[in-house]
Amino acid sequence: MYYSLNQKQIKLIKSLHLKKYRQEHQLFLLEGEKLVNEALRDKPEIIQWIIIKNDYSFSTKLSEVYTVSEKIFHSLTTLSSPEPIMSVCKFLAQQNSVIADLTNTFSFYLDNINDPGNLGTIIRVCDWFGIPQIFCSPNTVELYNPKTIQASKGSFLRVHLNYIELEQINFPHAINLYATDSFGTNIHSIKDKTGLIILGNESHGVSPKIKNKAHQNITIPKYLNSKAESLNVAMSASIIASEFFKV
């Protein structure tokens, strides 16, 4: 059975384009059939409503499905070329305390990452390499930014993000704390590939305050005659994860 959205619901959905109202309502938009289906499979409890264009067929017993005209649908979406389905979802459950045992594995700490596409791609990289949680400084871009959600390709449903100051993470055992830096140690020569790897801001790198807490700076070596100034932070995460990954 399909339902019709009322004006109050339409106003609410449009408001979720802005971070202020996402935070206020603890809701966000999930757009596209693949993402909606992944949420129905992996986290059906977060879906509040599903909205489809009135010429599109979709049914599920797990959530209310609403139909709207093409004109209204385009007013609700954040995408320029949207698929005919989206959902309104509740924020994922957050942990009250963060305990990170990284004695036999590794994870990332994202220091003031600004680009939502980069954040989404890093989440996807972590999902690929089986990293179940990553950590973000409070000034890192919001998980529920539509561009972050799209870039993660559904991986945000499986990789938990903790927004937390570095010193507030509870490490039950001593770990390695690595900071990425252009003049650090070659990652291929690192023997103990466990611990927390700090990735810095796209323009300024790891902040001095955070870098001072690191035990060692590391770098991705480049070809001797390379003229490239830097690597995209999401590319860096992928290369480092591949190097630190243990099959």
Task: With beta carbons less than 8 A apart as the criterion, state whether 179 and 209 touch.
Answer: no
* Cβ within 8 Å of residue 235, ≥6 positions away: none
Residues of the chain with pLDDT under 70: 96, 247
pLDDT of residue 247: 54
pLDDT of residue 1: 75
pLDDT of residue 246: 76
The model carries a pTM of 0.94
| Domains in the chain: boundaries | 2-90, 106-244
Distance CA 55, CA 57 (A): 7
pLDDT of residue 96: 65
pLDDT of residue 14: 98
Q: Superfamily assignment of 106-244 in CATH?
A: SPOUT methyltransferase, trefoil knot domain (3.40.1280.10)
CATH fold group of domain 2-90: 60s Ribosomal Protein L30; Chain: A; (3.30.1330)
Task: With beta carbons less than 8 A apart as the criterion, state whether 156 and 136 touch.
Answer: no
Query: What is the 3-class SS of 32-82, one letter each residue?
Result: CHHHHHHHHHHCHHHEEEEEEECCCCCCCCCCEEEEECHHHHHHHCCCCCC
**Where on the phi/psi map is residue 6: left (φ > 0), alpha (ψ -120 to 50), or beta?**
beta
